[in-house]
């Protein structure tokens, strides 16, 4: 018995040692991003801005693009305060000509693009009855075509170089479709499919592709989100979820984990314990999540007879109920820190 126990302990020790060696080897082989040229779409606020700041701190040359020149200027100022070399480019990622112009601008300044981070996104919250075909088209334009166009623009140079990294910021909503967020989920599902298939196709060229699936993050994005139907009630539940420290993750922490995943060339990174649990549950029991969400949907606001009327989170908070103002207050710090409000403008 002692002999067998000794063998088991020996094998266990060898396994642990081998596992530790593999982890150490992976960390040792992970290339540094210092000095690399990074392009981040949707980089003027929220997660994109957090990524730009963190990448700047580790010595990257950072280019950010977005539709608003004013937001880009504010973001660039905050990034440059750490001594980061930062370039801004006004760009609509749903327009291929605008994307090509942006990529050319970055190349002319940095010489090349080592890493592309597809981050641009929009959020529209409403029951299906208050959602139009145009809402689906807009979501797909930004979060699917807005991933495809920048990727196609950088692939030729990465193939020629035999090196490069592409990361797509999808969502846990790209793995499990969430009620009242159908346009968002549809676009994120498409982005996940493209990113996963792309990794398989371009690995032969030395290009690494990483799919990122964050859960809820405290980015202040509730103020930029759009709400239809029972607007204030929709804004309330969404804001509570997006700002609560109990169920949402700090965006700077998210950014650091994303950068680590890109640096190591990981295939996928799901962010937050809750998102990982949901994804695993859905993998083990594929029919369970939709049934659970069907129950959750009964607790969400009912639709209205007006499919067109829309309000932003910022305006909803101004006129909203006490609970909505309290929820917005939880996200006030993140909103100010990550450029979701204009300078000197209160977020709630």
Domains and CATH numbers, the chain: 33-337 (3.40.50.720)
Kindly report the pTM of this predicted structure: 0.88
Query: What is the mean pLDDT for each group of 10 consecutive residues in the chain (348 residues)?
Result: 50 52 51 94 97 96 97 95 93 98 98 98 97 97 98 98 98 95 98 98 98 94 95 94 91 96 97 87 85 93 91 89 82 86 48
Is residue 149 part of the annotated active site? The answer reads no
pLDDT of residue 22: 45
Find the angle CA(257)-CA(259)-CA(264) to the nearest 5 degrees.
Answer: 95
For residue 120, give both structure tokens.
Answer: 């641009």
The helix, strand and coil proportions of the chain, stated in percent and rounded to the nearest 5, come to 55, 15, 30
What pLDDT, on a 0 to 100 scale, did the predictor assign at position 320? Answer: 79
| pLDDT confidence of residue 109 | 97
Cβ burial of 14 (10 Å; 0-12, 13-18, 19+) is: exposed
CA–CA dist 348, 328 (Å, integer): 6
> What pLDDT sits at residue 13?
54
N residues, the chain: 348
Exposed/middle/buried for 9, CB within 10 Å: 0-12, 13-18, 19+? exposed
Catalytic residue among 149, 184, 205, 322: 184
Strands (E), the chain: 37-41, 61-66, 86-90, 115-118, 124-125, 164-169, 207-214, 217-218, 226-228, 249-250, 268-271, 310-312
Pick from 300, 262, 9: nearest CA to 119: 262
CA–CA dist 282, 172 (Å, integer): 11
């Amino acid at each position: 018995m002692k002999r067998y126990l000794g063998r088991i302990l020996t094998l266990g020790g060898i396994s642990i040692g081998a596992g530790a060696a593999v982890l150490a080897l992976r960390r040792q082989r992970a290339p540094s991003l210092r000095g690399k040229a990074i392009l981040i779409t949707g980089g003027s606020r929220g997660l994109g801005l957090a990524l730009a700041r963190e990448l700047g701190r580790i010595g990257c040359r950072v280019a950010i693009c977005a539709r608003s020149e004013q937001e880009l200027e504010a973001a660039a100022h905050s990034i440059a305060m750490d001594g980061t070399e930062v370039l801004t480019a006004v760009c609509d990622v749903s327009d291929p000509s605008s994307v090509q112009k942006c990529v050319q601008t970055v190349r002319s300044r940095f010489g090349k693009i080592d890493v592309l981070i597809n981050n641009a996104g929009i959020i529209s919250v409403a029951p299906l009855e208050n959602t139009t075909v145009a809402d689906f088209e807009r979501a797909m334009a930004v979060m699917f075509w807005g991933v495809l166009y920048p990727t196609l623009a950088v692939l030729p140079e990465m193939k020629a170089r035999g090196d490069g990294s592409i990361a797509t910021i999808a969502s846990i909503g790209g793995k499990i479709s969430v009620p009242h967020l159908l346009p968002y989920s549809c676009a994120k599902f498409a982005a996940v499919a493209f990113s996963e298939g792309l990794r398989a196709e371009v690995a032969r060229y030395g290009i690494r592709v990483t799919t990122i699936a964050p859960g809820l993050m405290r980015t202040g994005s509730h103020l930029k989100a759009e709400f239809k139907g029972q607007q204030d009630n929709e804004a309330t539940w969404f804001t509570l979820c997006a700002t609560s420290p109990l169920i949402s993750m700090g965006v700077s922490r998210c950014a650091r984990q994303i950068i680590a995943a890109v640096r190591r060339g990981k295939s996928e990174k799901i962010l937050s314990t809750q998102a990982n649990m949901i994804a695993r549950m859905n993998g083990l029991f594929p029919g369970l999540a939709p049934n659970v969400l069907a129950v959750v949907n009964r607790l969400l606001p009912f639709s209205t007879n007006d499919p067109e009327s829309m309000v932003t989170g910022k305006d909803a908070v101004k006129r909203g109920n006490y609970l909505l103002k309290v929820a917005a207050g939880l996200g006030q710090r993140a909103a100010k820190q990550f450029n979701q409000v204009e300078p000197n403008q209160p977020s709630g």
